[in-house]
Structure 1
């Protein structure tokens, strides 16, 4: 079916110089952000990074200390929450337990005095695949079904922007993954702007067209999931979005297309567009699944980067892949993921190995940044 939402013309959500101060603490720090109309946008970050505070300012539940919020040409900074063309879906769903599912979804239309609401409610229930559940009470539904009811209730009011505050946090892992796909399907079908707050990297990457990675009230990097994962701008993004091996190196030369790095006496090359800095000490980064392990001396370089003389120190079988730890001659351990295709024998602890990877899979960051930034940040709201 084809949903008829939205009624209002789509407009970009624009935050300009937004800050939120709580006493001496600044939760959000002069944030500039544009969320294009009709996109699925994620604010991703650890607990306390400012993502939920930002969402609450858009919703009208918090007042910015500085800055403005606009929807298209309309300034909504000073509008009360109920006057904004924005709806929010919370983690706890906030359904009315004494009303059946049909009446929960119809509630907003009834309050606005809409007379012919039944076709609209039926359409919303069909959209979230709960058309046969209208007479049930919330307590008779699963967590995932209750989440869909909350979505239908929010969408039926035809908001220009739907805000989702950790909406899948209360669900178990399997159901959460199913709902990630469902949320993306619903957003694509209705075509309105979704702004989704989460600390779950996989959740953001599965659903969002664009992700803003937040840290300390600031946006560390903005881009598509592929851009952020493949070419992180900071050590925080490199570590928070998946895992990264960061190795200390020094830039010692440059060609037309590449930088030449010295890595503890070994030379490696990195394409210039993948380098955030072009001189001095750096962090050379490689994602664990981009590294190929081979028994020592069995593979030639053939244009790939290579570090020889490593020893396997740990082997963990995790189903789709095997996770290796390999200690380099200077005692740094790297993490390597190898898919379990059956094409190669599994290595064992104590094996002498060489590490190979494509130059185009390398990224270079400023060594002034903390190599452990983003590694141990706990998940949660904030």
Structure 2
């Protein structure tokens, strides 16, 4: 069932937790509210659940206005980070609790079906203390789903799990949502978690949605420095627009003579013009490194594809991450240029102090308004 928030805001005393927000969550979707602590995502979820009353605005579920409806009268269930299972009840009784509370006595079939959905059928008689963290999370999920809510709200449900288990549960949650087909609204601060599971992600910062879209769209085409930095890592370069040539921009990076190019459609500045300032961005995994000696060798001219964006630099640090190699490169345009290369054909010459050429496709470049804070959304800014 579609959830529609119109002008919804929440003020606590003199603090505005959520600024007026217009948001539509499509029926049957897996929707994520993503942001750092204090951005307003949990407050938004609690207003949908009825646990907080909006200061202003309306919340609709389908055609029904539920803004002032008490929580127990909303066709909505919530799963929290703290699973709050009853330790004296076994798995089956924990799952059946909501039905029994509503006076339903014949629950066996529904409990069995719901436990099969979350793949816990063989563990029905175990107590919560006999379960792993991931299994306890599934019990909490089953207990919410058995009530057949129209919307399931998830408030950091995987936050207490270790990394490996969390990744397994991300896939499980997506599978379950696909099978039951109801609307899931998931609050998280974990970018990977949101991008793995959600059909649509709303990136929140300081009580506002800064960008909304499919995970790949947000990652590949960020429209603000906050989105670019919060969703993964971005290298941002100050540059001046030299010319707008049809569907392409030509730019000069501040501090270098190299001319960079990118499609106009990947520029978040309205009506870009020659002389305008932008922040040129490129993701670390989009960049390739070539040893400077190879770049200058005429016999090795094929090492840098024609038409690439090209910069020079010196490797400051190199790290081995197993699946990839991570480099930090000092360049005239950026003192800490991050580069991730897949661990396929490792060039052992690329060590600290090595002169290199960085190159990438113009189509992998994006541009943002230079008036924004280049550090917005980074871990350093959060500190």
Q: TM-score range by the shorter chain?
A: over 0.9
TM-score (norm 1): 0.94
- The alpha carbon displacement at 1:111 in A equals 1.4
Q: Which residue of 2 aligns with 1:49?
A: 39
User: How many angstroms apart in 2 are the aligned matches of 1:32 and 1:346?
Assistant: 53
- The alpha carbon displacement at 1:378 in A equals 9.0
TM-score (norm 2): 0.94
Preserved CA contact (<8 Å) 1:46 1:378: no
Q: Which runs of structure 2 are paired with 1:16-165 in the superposition (5 Å)? A: 16-165=6-155
User: How many angstroms apart in 1 are the aligned matches of 2:352 and 2:186?
Assistant: 43
1:285 to 278, 281, 288: 281
Secondary structure of the structure 1 residue equivalent to 2:122? coil
5+ long unaligned stretches in structure 2: 297-302
Higher RCO (Cα < 8 Å, 6 or more apart): 1
Measured at CA, do residues 26 and 116 of structure 1 come closer, stay the same or move farther in structure 2, by a change above 3 Å?
Answer: same
Q: Which residue of 1 aligns with 2:4?
A: 14
Q: Which residue of 1 aligns with 2:307?
A: 303
Offset from partner CA, 1:145-199 (integer Å, 9 cap, x none): 0000000000000001000000000011111111111101100110101000000
Preserved CA contact (<8 Å) 1:239 1:372: yes
Offset from partner CA, 1:54-109 (integer Å, 9 cap, x none): 00000000000001110110010010001000000000101111111111111111
User: How many angstroms apart in 1 are the aligned matches of 2:136 and 2:227?
Assistant: 33
User: How many angstroms apart in 2 are the aligned matches of 1:346 and 1:214?
Assistant: 42
User: How many angstroms apart in 2 are the aligned matches of 1:24 and 1:334?
Assistant: 41
5+ long unaligned stretches in structure 1: 1-10
Q: Is residue 269 from structure 1 mapped to residue 261 from structure 2 by the alignment?
A: yes
User: How many angstroms apart in 2 are the aligned matches of 1:330 and 1:84?
Assistant: 54
- The alpha carbon displacement at 1:115 in A equals 3.4
Q: CA RMSD in A?
A: 1.3
How many residue pairs were aligned? 368
User: How many angstroms apart in 2 are the aligned matches of 1:56 and 1:269?
Assistant: 45
Offset from partner CA, 1:221-272 (integer Å, 9 cap, x none): 0011100000101000000000000000011101111011111332111101
Q: Which residue of 1 aligns with 2:250?
A: 260
- The alpha carbon displacement at 1:344 in A equals 3.8
- The alpha carbon displacement at 1:116 in A equals 2.7
User: How many angstroms apart in 1 are the aligned matches of 2:6 and 2:27?
Assistant: 16
